[in-house]
């Protein structure tokens, strides 16, 4: 009987331990703050009373406003 060629889809049996992906380096404090976006909390004059039930702003006292671009 002839020998079959190796199956390319079958996992190879090895004695080596599996390789783990490289871990990301921890961020320095300066890098951590550079990635944060400035946020302002703005109170709603209506206290959310004018919005219908089910609306995300219904009965909300304030709204978080995040900057859309990076500021220096």
Query: pLDDT tens digits for 1-43?
Result: 567 777 777 666 666 676 777 777 776 655 555 667 778 888 8
Contact by Cβ (8 Å): 62, 45 = no
Give domain status of residue 59, yes or no: yes
pTM passes above 0.85? no
Give domain status of residue 26, yes or no: no
Tell me, what's the pLDDT at 12? Answer: 62
For residue 52, the enclosing domain spans 37-72
State how far the Cα of 53 lies from the Cα of 62, in Å rounded to an integer. 17
Total domain count, the chain: 1
Tell me, what's the pLDDT at 29? Answer: 59
């Amino acid at each position: 009987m002839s020998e079959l060629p190796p199956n390319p889809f079958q996992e190879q049996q090895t004695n080596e331990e599996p390789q783990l992906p490289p871990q990301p380096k921890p961020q320095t404090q300066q890098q951590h703050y550079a990635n944060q976006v400035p946020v302002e909390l703005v109170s709603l004059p209506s206290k959310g009373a004018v919005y219908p039930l089910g609306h995300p702003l219904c009965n909300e006292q304030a709204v978080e406003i995040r900057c859309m671009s990076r500021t220096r």
